[in-house]
Every structure is written in structure tokens, then in C-alpha cells.
Amino acid sequence: MCGGSHLKCREFLHVGALGAAWLSLPQLLAAKEAGAVRPGHDNRACIMIFNLGAPSHVDLWDMKPDAPKEIRGPFKPIR
């Protein structure tokens, strides 16, 4: 990806992330000015973390509470 460039891969990703943040700044400011946060909105949130070598999404996210016990395992979802 970065072969032959004067930038190291880490520097390339750093510059790309800064560029993406700079391009999204006007939208962020416009949303803040318009009052995009509504009173009485749903406070639930989800943080997705991508880890190479981590457990699969089936083990972390999709518990399948209606599946047979052999598939869903010993854990039950929090409701």
C-alpha cells in the first residue's frame, strides 16, 4: 500500500484520518448548530471495536436467544 512512498504507512494513515476529520468538521458544526440532539431521544448506544484475532461476532454480538442450547451456549442475553 505504501511501498515506494516517502511516507511511512503509519504517517499515511495519520494524514488520512486528519483529512477525514477535517472534511467532516462542517457537518459536525452544522448539526450542533441545528440542535440535532432531540430531547427525549433514545440513550442506548453501541460501540463497535474491530480487533484482528478477536473472537468472532457470533461470540460477541449475536447471541441468538431463540436458538437451541447447543448453538447459543450457556449464556443468556441481558434484556
Q: What is the pLDDT of residue 39?
A: 62
Mean pLDDT score, 1-10: 68
Q: What is the pLDDT of residue 22?
A: 85
* pLDDT tens, residue by residue, 16-74: 888 888 888 888 788 777 776 566 666 677 777 776 776 766 666 666 778 887 877 77
Q: What is the pLDDT of residue 4?
A: 60
Q: Which residue has the cell 484482528?
A: 52
Q: What is the pLDDT of residue 25?
A: 84
Q: Which residues of 9-28 are buried (b: 16+ CB within 10 A; e: fewer)?
A: eeeeeeeeeeeeeeeeeeee
